[in-house]
């Protein structure tokens, strides 16, 4: 399927922070009907992919559907060296056995997004040990002549280590060279990666020019970060890590625990949801909607994207049940009502609210909630439909039993 100009424009702006040589040149290339061979490299430093990886996987899947050649490269060789990017100290090197154990389930995780079995134009998986493991010492010396020590030392993390008198090992200089050689070995026309990988991707661009006299587009995507703290969102230490292998109920619960300020960016970077829909949710938040309600939409979309639509209700029920047990006190005022009674009238009758005006104010503030359903009451004329526990304000709870 050939994309139109609007589709290309969205593809090259959504979750994209940088394109080199330029967005215009890549757009012209794609609209001209030329085929990309593009890859994403992921080092096998752990057994799980997370939704931060999904930003790039979604980008690749969209290109695959447009007919471009897609490679997901498992960095099984480079993982044994360790990427020094964003590291204040030398990364611990992994053994070959550790790396192979890490990538064992990666395909099953990545195929939640990338289609490796499509009848037409399936994505493919490669491992860079296939060529890096065969390089001879003369090959490595030739490779090392492609970049200067000064260029390496310009990198922020190396400058920081020098200032802090921390060691920099020679094998860390080899990492960007070997990662860059991946572009040469696969003879690609483009590479996508997080914006923390720009230096490494640029090395690959220079090597592709040197070895094949070819241009390589570099596409840097945004990283999921908390705008308040500036820290990476997909961090186990920050407690916000959502793995693609998480069970539906766990994924739903983790999504609900995300900070409110990242709701829109996770929608944008980690789902296929149209930007128009995401924009509508952003507007609702801007106008004072309860973030929890929008976050539930996000949790549903994540479970739908990485599992299936059929898993959404089960995951949501599990979350609501757990949330209800956590939030509802052991002793709750219990009252009776008829189905169809006005909720506000029932609460007023039993002294839960002071007046009709008090009830309307609470509803307007989003402070009346059906705990059992996990929903907010947003209409002051709402009716009692079923037996449920309601939270009124910050501390009042009442169980309304339908006779």
The pLDDT score that the predictor gives to residue 83 is 65
CA dihedral 371, 377, 381, 385 (to 10 degrees): -40
SS (H, E, C) 260-297: HHHHHHHHHHHCCCCHHHHHHHHHHHHCCCCHHHHHHH
The pLDDT score that the predictor gives to residue 73 is 97
From 176, 192, 221, give the residue that closes a domain.
Answer: 221
Residue 173 and residue 262 in one domain:
no
Residue 176 and residue 213 in one domain:
yes
Domain count for the chain: 3
The pLDDT score that the predictor gives to residue 351 is 81
Residue 175 and residue 204 in one domain:
yes
Whichever domain contains 81, its CATH number is: 3.40.50.620
Kind of pairing, strands 190-194 and 37-43? parallel
Whichever domain contains 286, its CATH number is: 1.10.240.10
End-to-end CA distance of the chain: 58
Range(s) of the domain holding residue 300: 236-327
Q: Would residue 381 count as lying in a domain? A: yes
3-class SS of residue 342: strand
pLDDT in tens, 135-154: 999 999 999 998 888 888 88
Q: Would residue 23 count as lying in a domain? A: yes
Contact, 262 vs 226, CB < 8 A? yes
Residue 167 and residue 39 in one domain:
yes
Is the pLDDT score of 22 beyond 90? yes
Task: Specify the range with the lowest mean pLDDT, choosing from 108-112, 169-173, 178-182.
Answer: 169-173
Is the pLDDT score of 167 beyond 90? no
Residue 388 and residue 280 in one domain:
no
Is the pLDDT score of 306 beyond 90? yes
Placement of tokens 């990427």 in the chain = 83
pLDDT in tens, 338-393: 889 999 999 998 888 888 998 999 999 989 988 877 778 999 999 998 888 898 98
Residue 295 and residue 344 in one domain:
no
Contact, 332 vs 338, CB < 8 A? no
Contact, 194 vs 223, CB < 8 A? yes
Residue % of the chain over a pLDDT of 70: 93
Sheet hosting strand 375-376, strand order edge to edge: 333-337, 396-402, 388-392, 368-370, 375-376
Q: Would residue 379 count as lying in a domain? A: yes
DSSP label at residue 35: P
Residue 338 and residue 304 in one domain:
no
**Who has greater pLDDT, 44 or 206?**
206
Q: Would residue 155 count as lying in a domain? A: yes
From 183, 198, 221, give the residue that closes a domain.
Answer: 221
The pLDDT score that the predictor gives to residue 237 is 47
The pLDDT confidence band at residue 91, using thresholds 50, 70 and 90, is: low
- Summarize the confidence of residues 94-116 as an average pLDDT: 89
Residue 83 and residue 197 in one domain:
yes
Please count the CA atoms within 13 angstroms of the CA of 74 that sit on its side-chain side. Answer: 24
pLDDT in tens, 208-243: 999 999 999 999 999 988 888 777 887 654 556 798
Q: Residue 274: which of 30, 10, 55, 63 has the closest Cα? A: 10
Residue 284 and residue 216 in one domain:
no
DSSP label at residue 133: T
Is the pLDDT score of 1 beyond 70? no
Is the pLDDT score of 327 beyond 80? no
From the CB of residue 391, how many other CB atoms can be counted at a distance below 10 Å?
Answer: 19
The pLDDT score that the predictor gives to residue 371 is 80
The pLDDT score that the predictor gives to residue 385 is 86
Residue 202 and residue 341 in one domain:
no
- For the chain, what is the mean pLDDT? 88
Residue 207 and residue 292 in one domain:
no
Residue 97 and residue 209 in one domain:
yes
From 152, 187, 221, give the residue that closes a domain.
Answer: 221
pLDDT in tens, 34-73: 999 999 999 887 888 899 999 999 999 999 999 999 999 9
**Who has greater pLDDT, 19 or 46?**
19
From the CB of residue 401, how many other CB atoms can be counted at a distance below 10 Å?
Answer: 12
**Who has greater pLDDT, 332 or 200?**
200
Is the pLDDT score of 325 beyond 70? no
């Amino acid at each position: 399927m050939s994309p139109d100009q609007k589709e290309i424009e969205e593809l090259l702006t959504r979750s994209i922070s940088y394109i080199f040589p330029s967005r215009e040149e890549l757009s012209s290339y794609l609209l001209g009907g030329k085929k990309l061979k593009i890859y994403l490299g992921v080092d096998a430093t752990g057994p799980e992919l997370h939704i931060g990886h999904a930003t790039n996987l979604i980008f690749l899947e969209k290109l695959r559907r447009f007919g471009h050649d897609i490679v997901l490269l498992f960095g099984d060789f480079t993982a044994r060296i360790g990427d020094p990017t964003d590291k204040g100290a030398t990364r611990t090197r992994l053994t070959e056995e550790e790396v192979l154990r890490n990538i064992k389930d990666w395909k099953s995780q990545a195929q939640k997004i990338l289609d490796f079995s499509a009848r037409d134009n399936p994505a493919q998986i490669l491992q860079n040990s296939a060529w890096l493991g065969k390089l001879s010492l003369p090959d490595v010396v030739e490779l090392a002549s492609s970049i200067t020590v000064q260029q390496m030392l310009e990198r922020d993390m190396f400058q920081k280590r020098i200032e802090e008198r921390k060691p920099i090992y020679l094998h860390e200089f080899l990492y960007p060279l070997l990662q860059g050689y991946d572009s040469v070995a696969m003879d690609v026309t483009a590479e996508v990666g997080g914006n923390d990988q720009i230096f490494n991707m640029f090395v690959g661009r220079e090597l592709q020019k040197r070895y094949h006299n070819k241009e390589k587009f570099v596409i840097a995507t945004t990283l999921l970060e908390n705008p308040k703290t500036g820290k990476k969102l997909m961090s186990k230490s920050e407690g916000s890590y959502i793995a693609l292998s998480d069970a539906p109920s766990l994924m739903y619960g983790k999504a609900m625990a995300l900070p409110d300020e990242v709701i829109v960016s996770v929608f944008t970077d980690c789902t296929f949801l149209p930007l128009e829909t995401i924009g509508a949710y952003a507007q609702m938040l801007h106008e004072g909607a309860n973030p929890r309600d929008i976050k539930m939409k996000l949790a549903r979309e994540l479970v739908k994207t990485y599992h299936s639509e059929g898993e959404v209700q089960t995951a949501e029920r599990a979350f609501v049940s757990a949330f209800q047990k956590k939030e509802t006190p052991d002793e709750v005022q219990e009252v009776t009502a008829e189905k169809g009674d006005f909720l506000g009238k029932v609460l007023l009758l039993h002294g839960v609210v002071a007046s009709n005006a008090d009830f309307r104010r609470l509803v307007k503030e989003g402070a009346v909630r059906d705990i059992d359903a996990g929903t907010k009451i947003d209409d002051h004329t709402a009716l009692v439909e079923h037996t449920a526990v309601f939270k009124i304000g910050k501390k009042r709870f009442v169980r309304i039993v339908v006779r």
